Amino acid sequence: SSRSSRRWVGLLLAAALGVLAVFWIGSQPQQDWVVMDIKAPDGISLPGGATLVQGTRLESGVLSTGPESELAIQLGDKLRFTMLPGTSLELPEPPGRWFGRNRRLHLGSGEIYGTSGGQKLGFELVFSTEELEARLTGTTFAVFRIDVASCVCLWEGGIAVTPLVGDYDVVNLEKRNRVWIFKDGREPEIKPLDANETMKLQMTDDAGLAELPDADSK
């Protein structure tokens, strides 16, 4: 009886360790955020003191661009976006292989133009600001934030925008449109893209996803 009990305890411990191993492996990211393009690097701040060169793999944390700087980063073969001058965002960890695949990217200020290259992301990504949450599927999009409002623009794909101020329903934005969510709680404003937004979004969509450079640093 004692020997049988020890055998069952051993089996249970082995099973528990197996489950933990599977969970740990499944929670590890398959792909990293990688620096793709840089403009005016002196004005760019990266988390963790990473070296700012093409191919740098980024840690999670706050990224920011100065008044003349731009930074393009890409998550493997899933998502690429460009931070325009004066942008600050909080970058999440890459999604896990099987578990921990919901991610939130918070935009504090500025503008981002991004694309998933016409394909579904394969994980849940929410862009958030103080005024809204924008849930992406597979899409070419832009997110802006200024002092009085936040804006989401859609070129292709799908975005569901949830206002965080005022009592308003989720906006399932139609392509070639934008929605402004105002800090003071006034009704969201939905309009077609203007000429400047159209130009930038079309360029972003045409560029698609890039071939990843060799990593320079981890």
Mean pLDDT of 64-85: 94
pLDDT of the residue at 159: 93
Mean pLDDT of 85-108: 80
Least confidently predicted of 47-61, 75-89, 139-153, 202-216: 202-216
Least confidently predicted of 119-123, 131-135, 138-142: 119-123
Neighbours of 170 (CB within 10 A): 11
pLDDT of the residue at 204: 95
pLDDT of the residue at 50: 74
pLDDT of the residue at 75: 92
pLDDT digits (tens, 9 = 90+) for 111-127: 999 999 988 877 888 99
- What mean pLDDT is reported for the chain? 86
Least confidently predicted of 14-18, 23-27, 35-39, 73-77: 23-27
* Two structure tokens written together for 83: 């931070």
pLDDT of the residue at 100: 47
**Burial (CB count within 10 angstroms: exposed 0-12, middle 13-18, buried 19+), residue 154:** buried
Mean pLDDT of 190-213: 92
CA neighbor of 92 nearest in space, from 58, 121, 129, 51:
58
Residue 26: is its pLDDT beyond 50? no
Distance CA 115, CA 189 (A): 23
CA 113 to chain centre: 11
Q: What is the pTM of this model?
A: 0.81
* Two structure tokens written together for 217: 């640093």
pLDDT of the residue at 81: 93
Residue 7: is its pLDDT beyond 70? no
